[in-house]
Amino acid sequence: MRINRKKRNEYLWGYAMIAPVTLGLIAFYFYPFFQVIFDSFYKIGSFDRRLGFVGIDNYTKMLADKEMWQTLMNTFQYVIIIVPLTVVFSMLIAVLLNKKVKGLSIFRVIYFLPAITMAAAISMVWRWIFNGDYGILNGLIGTFGLDPVQWLNSKQTALFCICCVAIWSNTGYYMIILLAGIQGISRGYYEAAEIDGATGFQKFKKITLPLLSPTLFYVVIMIIISTFQTFDGIYLMISTKSNAIKHTQSVVMYFYRTAFEHSNKGYASAIAVMLFLIIMGITIFQMKMQKKWVNYE
Amino acid sequence: MKVKKILASILCASLAVTILAGCSNKKETTDTSKNESNTGNKATEAPVGESTTGYTGEPAEIHYAYWQDSLGTYLEECKAKFEEQNPNITIVLEPTTWTEYWTKLETAATGGSVADVFQMNGPNINKYADAGIILSMDDYIKASGLDMSKYPEAMNSLYNVEGSQYGVPIDYDTIGLWYNKELFDKAQVEYPTDSWTWEDLKAAAEKLTDKDNGVYGISAGYADQGGFYNTVFAAGGYILNDDKTKSGFDQDATKQGIQCWIDLMEAGYSPSQASLSENADYIQFMSGKVAMVYAGDWFASIFADPAADFADKCDVALLPTINGNRASVIHGKANCISAGTKNADAAWAWVNYLAGAEANELLGKSGAAIPAHADYSNLFFEQYPQYNMSIFAKEAQECAYEYPTSKGFTEWADVVWNELVPAYSLEVSVDEACDNIAKQMNDILAAQ
């Protein structure tokens, strides 16, 4: 097939337009992705010195690594706690903020604020709230005569504190996405239902939920992925010298410590690959399952 | 179906985000030097003597990385004076907080964009020298006639790796027993004296502890240089044997030097390990919750800070003796030159300036740290006439033990921390923790 000059010119422009993003993706996503897989078969020491090919040693080491298993457990705990609660809360708030109430914009701003606040700033404030000796939470429960709790430094409570902060700071963001979805639903459905005498809950169940399901699906997938990758809240709130670090660190946190604090990039790469496989597996499963509940108009 | 397409592309993007986690943030773009050509490592142009640092080479920009906040003023002064004497060199100061310093430095060194000159400590010197990240300074020291005997012997040897000098000492530090006079007065306990033994300390801690008011006698949490290293040496134990091939953690004396802290914990004279890992010992000390704390001389500048309103409430005494022995671990920072610097001569000129009389005098007067140069150490002590600072010099001369470090330090230090924190948290016995450490540490040392 001959391509005339005009057409070729058009193609060239097309490629020129997508070049920045494509090059960015290759440099910052695809190249590191394959590099990580490659590195996971090597022993790598400080300053990235390659100390030899070790085959699947890094992976077999992972199976025997107790800290790795504990870390996986923590991560699944985060997912099990954070995902449903965030979905429920953001859904609830989105539905409530869709109603005509006084000061609607103010409420929307309040709920959205945590999403646009720096994670570092949020963590600083919560660290002070949870502080075992000087924190406001212990001060509060102290007035009821309860003993102070080392919230962020005991194995029993630290993980839940991280969950609370994660739910609190994520809810607003997903609330906005759901709210946009709800407002995309035609008023006509509700009016027809009202004429038929449907109650508020019936309207929610039969109209809002099914028509919102594509948005909800997107939200659920995003929360699951971001929760599997949770890092900053833990990094900023739990010191690596804390007693609770092993019972709170996520896979990404463990990856970071292994790669940058213990200078063991080979093993860290294997951890990253494993996390990638887990998230990919779960996402594929969800894509397959969506037929059962997601309703595309 | 449009929604589905959008969803699919968003999913692709978010999957890619996973991979981002695997992408190390290596490239810290720092323009290390404007100078391209002058890479000669020969010390031919290096100046002679301490007072002159006249550098005659091409214009150069030297980046200097350091971690200690309180060094800021001293370094600004040094920079101004040095640039005046060496108009061809521009110094760029790069401060980093302590918690991030080593991670950042290693990442920068890996990516080849590390500062030309940077501060080094004992735990890391072997790692950096072995990997060839830093330059041996032997030729420069010889050519410039820098008198190394002016610095404490323990400091020189700490930065001497296999016969080569890789760092020039900046300062040195020892550990003292700081105490809150107000709390002592309140509990009517005599201030610590030079003749205190560990038993005296324990007895005082008992009297000072007032749980109803949330006051503890001492901070006995996990600390190495500022904690059990001192008591292990005093009890006659050791962390590493002399040729650095075997761990000392299976020795009874070593265990005793750790057990003495756990005893204080068990007796309830100290805030719990959990509390201390959230709110550092010196913070609890300054807020009047803890009456005694093992802390280095560099804390003088923190305690005396007028903003803290604490300056007059505390003082410092010699560490107590155990079995009649006193021990204080001596450590200090040094300046190293990056092997990748584009202008080693200019980097050396800066190191040599910091090693000299003028910079040491400025350091002493700044009150941030004890200058390593023997002639100027006293200047630091004079900044704090309200405290009994002479004990730090006395310890350095009479009972200083070199900071234990070896190849594989970061690995075994991690093991020590991992195993000992549960002991300090009263979850496992010292015996068990120490035996575990010895086993793992010996394996690590054998692999070096």
A153 touches chain B (CB under 8 A): yes
Q: For residue A226, is it within any domain?
A: yes
Question: Torsion angle of alpha carbons B125, B126, B129, B133, nearest 10°?
Answer: -70
B290-296, strands of its sheet edge to edge: B216-218, B290-296, B175-180, B314-317
> With contacts defined as CB-CB under 8 Å, which chain A residues touch B19?
29, 32-33, 36, 272, 276
The Cα–Cα gap between B113 and B82 comes to 24
Chain B residues with CB under 8 Å of A259 CB are 24
Q: How far apart are CA B252 and CA B236, in angstroms?
A: 9
Q: How many CA atoms lie within 13 A of B271 on its CB side?
A: 29
| CA pair distance B115, B121, nearest whole angstrom | 16
CATH number for B57-173+332-372: choose from 3.90.1300.10, 3.40.50.300, 3.40.190.10, 1.10.10.60. Answer: 3.40.190.10
H/E element holding B161? Answer: strand B160-161
- Determine the residue type at B430: V
Q: Are B363 and B173 in contact (CB under 8 A)?
A: no
| Residue A121, in any domain of the structure | yes
pLDDT < 50 regions, chain B: 1, 11-52
C-alpha A104/C-alpha A97 separation (Å) is 7
How many contacts, defined by CB atoms under 8 Å, are there between A and B? 123
Say how far apart CA B276 and CA B220 lie, in whole Å: 9
Q: Which of residues 285-344 of B touch A (CB under 8 A)?
A: 287, 289
Instruction: Give the count of domains, chain A.
Output: 1
Instruction: Give mean pLDDT, residues A92-112.
Output: 89
A119 in any annotated domain: yes
Is the pLDDT score of A127 beyond 60?
A: yes
DSSP assignment of B279-315 equals S-HHHHHHTTSEEEEEEETTHHHHHT-GGGT-GGGEE
Instruction: For residue B201, give Cα distances in angstroms to A170, B205, B409.
Output: 50, 6, 31
Q: Can you tell me the distance from the alpha carbon of B197 to that of B380, in angstroms, rounded to the nearest whole number? A: 28
From chain B, pick out residues whose CB is under 8 angstroms from the CB of A272.
18-19, 21-22
State the Cα angle at B133 between B129 and B139, rounded to 5°: 70
Distance CA(A119)–CA(A129), nearest Å, equals: 15
pLDDT at A200: 87
Q: What is the CATH number of domain B175-330+397-447?
A: 3.40.190.10
Q: What is the pLDDT of residue B69?
A: 78
Residue A260 sits at the chain B interface (C-beta within 8 Å): yes
CA atoms in the 13 A half-sphere facing the CB of B241? 11
Sole residue written with tokens 């008011």: B213
Residue-level pLDDT at B178: 97
Is the CB of B447 inside 8 Å of chain A's CB atoms?
no
Chain A residues in contact with B425 by the CB 8 A cut-off are 243
Segment holding B345, helix H or strand E: helix B344-355
Spatial separation of the C-alpha atoms in residues B180 and B312, rounded to whole Å: 9
Contact A32 B278 (CB under 8 A): no
Q: Which of A153, A214, A259 sits opposite B24 (nearest CB)?
A: A259
What's the rounded Cα separation, in Å, for the pair A197 and A63?
59
Calculate how close chain B gets to A174, using CA atoms only, in Å.
15
For A161, the domain range is 46-293
Do the first three CATH levels of B57-173+332-372 and B175-330+397-447 match, i.e. the same topology?
A: yes
Q: What is the dihedral of CA B81, B167, B297, B304, to 10 degrees?
A: 30
Domain ranges within chain B, ordered by starting residue: 57-173+332-372, 175-330+397-447
Alpha-carbon span B3 to B424, nearest angstrom:
56
What are the residues facing B119 on neighbouring strands? Answer: B335
- Residue-level pLDDT at B153: 87
Quick one: what percent of chain A has pLDDT higher than 70?
99
Q: Is the minimum CB–CB distance between B16 and chain A shorter than 8 Å?
A: yes
More confident residue, A295 or B187: B187
Does residue A140 fall inside a structural domain? Answer: yes
Contacts of A130 (CB under 8 A, 6+ apart): A137, A151, A152, A161, A237
* Minimal CA separation from A72 to chain B, in Å: 16
- Cβ–Cβ below 8 Å for B275 and A265: no
Residue A2: predicted pLDDT: 64
Q: Measure CA A35 to chain center.
A: 24
Domain CATH for A199 = 1.10.3720.10
Would you call B288 exposed, middle or buried from its count of C-beta atoms within 10 A (0-12, 13-18, 19+)? Answer: middle
Query: Is A32 part of any domain?
Result: no
Are the beta carbons of B274 and A229 separated by less than 8 Å?
Answer: no
Nearest-Å Rg of the Cα atoms of chain A is 24
The Cα–Cα gap between A189 and A229 comes to 39
Burial class (CB in 10 A: 0-12, 13-18, 19+), B157: exposed
Give the nearest chain B residue to A219 (CA atoms).
Answer: B7
Query: How does DSSP assign chain A, residue by residue?
Result: ----HHHHHHHHHHHHHHHHHHHHHIIIIIHHHHHHHHHTTEEE-GGG-EEEE-TTHHHHHHHH-HHHHHHHHHHHHHHHHHHHHHHHHHHHHHHHHTS--TTHHHHHHHHHHHHHS-HHHHHHHHHHHH-TTT-HHHHHHHTTTPPP--TTTSTTTHHHHHHHHHHHHHHHHHHHHHHHHHHTS-HHHHHHHHHTT--HHHHIIIIIHHHHHHHHHHHHHHHHHHHHT--HHHHHHS-TTSTTHHHH--HHHHHHIIIIIS--HHHHHHHHHHHHHHHHHHHHHHHHHHHHH----
For residue A139, give every residue at least 6 positions away whose Cβ sits within 8 Å of its Cβ, in sequence order, or none.
none
**A243 near A153, Cβ under 8 Å?**
yes
CB contact under 8 A, A229 and B3: no
| List of chain B residues whose C-beta atoms are within 8 Å of the C-beta of residue A217 | 7
Contact assignment for B21 to A49 by CB distance below 8 Å: no
Closest partner residue to B275 (CB to CB) among A132, A261, A279 is A132
Chain A residues whose CB is inside 8 A of the B109 CB are 47
Percentage of residues of chain A with pLDDT beyond 90? 73
Position A22 in a domain: no
Chain B residues whose CB is inside 8 A of the A28 CB are 20, 23
Rg, C-alpha atoms of chain B: 24
For A184-199, write each residue's pLDDT tens digit.
999 999 999 999 998 8
